[in-house]
Amino acid sequence: MSRKPWVGGNWKCNGTKASVDALIKTLNESDVPDKTKCDVIVAPSHIFLTHVLSTINPRFVVSAQDCNQFGNGAYTGSHSPQMLKDCGITTVIIGHSERRDVFRETDEEIGQKIALALKEGFDVVPCIGEHLAERQAGKTNDVLFPQMKAIAANVKPEEWSRVVIAYEPVWAIGTGVVATPQQAQDTQKDLREWIAKNVSEEVAKSVRIVYGGSVNGANSSELSSQPDVDGFLVGGASLKPEFATIVKNIAIAKSQ
């Protein structure tokens, strides 16, 4: 089964009104392949979401970086899936390692967010990843599989088509130390096998698993050639014109 490539630009907590406008202009003028060849999402900070949505070419999907697990109500400072939906947002990244490590989000909370966002009709991008010491100790799958279990427990069979799994080793995020193509491939193959055993063969074949962590225009080409790498979740390079190169590289690799 061929899986349509998927590339996300996670802008994290970056940008000014002026820099966001400049980035939108760059993306609108870029020659990224069309929607039939690659899904491309951009995830600005919540405060810029509606502005980006109203000014970016609809070829790009606009995503939130997080949502709450409660819905509307007395939850100061948070954003419910319902209000994101009302603002026209259709996709949400959940459980990024920065949410896990800096904001101390647990697997349980991440699972609750996934369940609510899916219930509200969102496409969701749950993130998983191991720390350096865990990889060095040979414990990568011991970390990733429980993270996957907490995600899978909150996805109904018919909802899997709205899930993209982002594998982002924490040691590769923002460090310039990208996983080797073999490391990304081996880990994502293991994840797909876990899904085959614990969800279904069908979901394992169809679900997109993307890699994140120091992806750039130069290294995205070889990573794209790995069979279990269906795309990327990009941080730093998504704020630069080379984001379009990354999209082009995966679209070309997967069209062959």
Ligand X SMILES: O=C(CO)COP(=O)(O)O
Binding site for ligand X (CB under 6 A): 10, 96, 168, 173-174, 212-215, 233-237
- With CB atoms as reference, the residue minimizing the distance to ligand X is 235
Cβ proximity of 39 and 254 under 8 Å: no
Q: How far is the CB of 64 from ligand X (least distance, A)?
A: 13
Give the residue with the Cβ less far from ligand X, 173 or 207.
173
**168 in catalytic set:** yes
Judged by DSSP in three states, 99 sits in helix
CA distance 218 to 245: 8
Bridge partner list, 208: 164
Cβ proximity of 240 and 30 under 8 Å: no
List 109, 130, 159, 168, catalytic entry: 168
Q: What is the DSSP letter of 157?
A: G
CA distance 15 to 157: 37
Q: How far is the CB of 178 from ligand X (least distance, A)?
A: 8
Give the residue with the Cβ less far from ligand X, 125 or 148.
125
Give the residue with the Cβ less far from ligand X, 130 or 204.
130
**201 in catalytic set:** no
Residue owning tokens 């069209």: 255
Q: Residue 180 has which token pair?
A: 């080797």
Q: How far is the CB of 222 from ligand X (least distance, A)?
A: 16
Give the residue with the Cβ less far from ligand X, 122 or 171.
171
Give the residue with the Cβ less far from ligand X, 46 or 204.
46
CA distance 84 to 124: 13
List 96, 98, 109, 130, catalytic entry: 96
Q: How far is the CB of 102 from ligand X (least distance, A)?
A: 12
Q: How far is the CB of 35 from ligand X (least distance, A)?
A: 22
Judged by DSSP in three states, 74 sits in coil
Strand segments, DSSP code E, in the chain are 6-10, 39-43, 61-64, 91-94, 123-128, 164-167, 208-212, 231-234
Q: What is the DSSP letter of 70?
A: S
Residues known to be catalytic: 96, 168
